[in-house]
Amino acid sequence: MTHTPSPHPPPPPETPSPPHRPSPSYVPRPHGPSGHGPSGPPADAARFLRRVLRVDGVSTAVTGALLVAAVVPLTTLTGMPRPFAVAFGIFQLCGAAGLLWIARHPVPRPPLVRAVVAVNAASAVACAALALGGVLPLTAFGVVFLLFGALIVSVYAVLEWAGLRRARGAGDGGGAR
């Protein structure tokens, strides 16, 4: 038998494809024990947490100062007893000082932030209970005032908890567990 050449040339031998390389925009970075890189949590997470604590501190100070300085018109509008309003205002001023002190640290300490979240959550529950429980002789405006306060404090608690979760590994090394 004779071999007749094929009208088509033989296919070229297969060459192995080059190994996959990541795109030039991808640059692998080493991760530390917290999973955020070699130096710990990202700076933006600590900055977010400090900012939320500061805003919480300033708004708490403003509310506390208003309750103390404008006690007569506010108690008339809300129905809160004056001693209660003054004590509540002083409590808020003290809390504001604590919040601003915690926020001044480059990375707020997780145990302190957890305490802030717990106090804010308890304050939200207390405000709602006072507004709806009939314990105080509140006007309709007083009920709305306390319910609005409960809502605001709840939002701060959620934002501070989220900030703590983002800054996991900051402060005492324990993170938000």
| pLDDT digit string, tens, across residues 51-77 | 999 999 999 999 999 999 999 999 999
Q: Is residue 155 part of a domain?
A: yes
Q: Is residue 87 part of a domain?
A: yes
* Eight-state DSSP code of residue 135: -
Confidence category of residue 168, pLDDT binned at 50, 70, 90: confident
Q: What's the CA gap between 69 and 75, in Å, rounded? A: 11
Which residue range is the domain that position 71 belongs to? 43-166
Q: Is residue 8 part of a domain?
A: no
Considering the chain, what is the average pLDDT of its residues? Answer: 83
Q: What's the CA gap between 75 and 81, in Å, rounded? A: 6
Q: Is residue 35 part of a domain?
A: no
Q: Please report the sign of the dihedral spanned by the C-alpha atoms of residue 83, residue 126, residue 61, residue 98.
A: positive
Helix H or strand E segment including 83: helix 82-103
Number of domains forming the structure of the chain: 1
Which residue in 45, 16, 58, 19 sits closest to 165, CA to CA? 45
Q: What's the CA gap between 114 and 19, in Å, rounded? A: 48
Q: Is residue 115 part of a domain?
A: yes
Q: What's the CA gap between 157 and 53, in Å, rounded? A: 10
Confidence category of residue 21, pLDDT binned at 50, 70, 90: low
- Cβ–Cβ under 8 Å, residues 164 and 117: yes
Model pTM above 0.75 = no
Mean pLDDT of 89-101: 98
pLDDT of residue 123: 97
Q: Is residue 62 part of a domain?
A: yes
Q: Is residue 112 part of a domain?
A: yes
Q: Is residue 141 part of a domain?
A: yes
Mean pLDDT of 105-119: 96
pLDDT of residue 167: 84
